[in-house]
Amino acid sequence: MAMIHIIDIIELTLKVGAKQNENEYVLGKFGYGKRSENGQRLVDFLLEHNLTLLDSIFKKNENNKWTWMSPDGKSRNETDYIISNHPKSFTDTSIISKLNLNTDHRMVRASLKTTPLKQSRKHPPPTRITDYSGISKPTLDKIRVSDPTNVKTSYAKLQNQLTCHKNKKVAKHKYTLSDSTLQIIKERKSLFTRELRNQKKQRIKELSKKIRKGIIKDRKDYMF
């Protein structure tokens, strides 16, 4: 299977707009807005490298096309794009509008077909080896002396201990944010309303900095 390349572009002065002629085969018929000079440069780049603008090939209503809004809320444009060399591998593009992030942009996403990728015979996946060194010696000794005559029972107990140990190792890798960080995220989310957003810009900015620091601290605490 050929490699699928995906490019995500965010640029305020880059507006591709609608398809202007049939030679622009890299665009679909569902473009949005007017084209800027940088937008034309992107179209030329797509034609040169045979790449497709995925956002233009799936039909959406206008409210689900714009990706950036000016700070005063008066201007809206499509300035965020997803590009690929294999458009037929995708089933849809969409906008995620309700994200708890301090940004004037709306996130764009693309949905891939669920056909599983073929495994390369030349490069098989690496063998996973579970570390059982954490099982205590008293636990193993207890299994050995429990019933020397019944090998089946001892084997079942050993297998149970190995399974429990493996599950504990997997559970250890689950990473969660601390309550304090989650509380700050919740406070910032409450300010993301049309009425409060412009009034509370400075507070949102302060909370965003605290969230970044909190996430870094939580990750360090988890790792060590």
Gap between the Cα atoms of 222 and 181, Å rounded:
14
Structural domain span for residue 196 = 179-223
* Same domain assignment for residues 99 and 165: no
Sign of CA dihedral 144, 147, 151, 155: negative
Q: Averaged over 42-57, what is the pLDDT?
A: 90
| Domain count along the chain | 3
117 in any annotated domain: no
Residue 78, CA atoms < 13 Å, CB-side half-sphere:
26
Residue 83, CA atoms < 13 Å, CB-side half-sphere:
19
Tens-digit pLDDT profile for residues 164-212: 655 554 444 556 788 898 898 888 888 877 667 677 888 888 888 888 8
Lowest-confidence segment of 46-55, 56-65, 126-135, 200-209 by average pLDDT: 126-135
Lowest-confidence segment of 15-19, 56-60, 144-148, 199-203 by average pLDDT: 144-148
Identify the band that residue 98 occupies on the pLDDT scale cut at 50, 70 and 90: confident
Residue with the bigger pLDDT between 161 and 213: it is: 213
* Same domain assignment for residues 164 and 210: no
Identify the band that residue 23 occupies on the pLDDT scale cut at 50, 70 and 90: confident
Please give the backbone phi and psi of residue 202, each rounded to the nearest 5 degrees, phi first.
-65, -40
* Same domain assignment for residues 71 and 153: no
Gap between the Cα atoms of 3 and 5, Å rounded:
6
Gap between the Cα atoms of 69 and 67, Å rounded:
7
The single-letter DSSP state of residue 63 is: G
What pLDDT is attached to residue 52?
93
| pLDDT surpassing 50 at residue 20 | yes
What pLDDT is attached to residue 9?
67
Residue with the bigger pLDDT between 146 and 124: it is: 124
Q: Which amino acid is at 47?
A: L
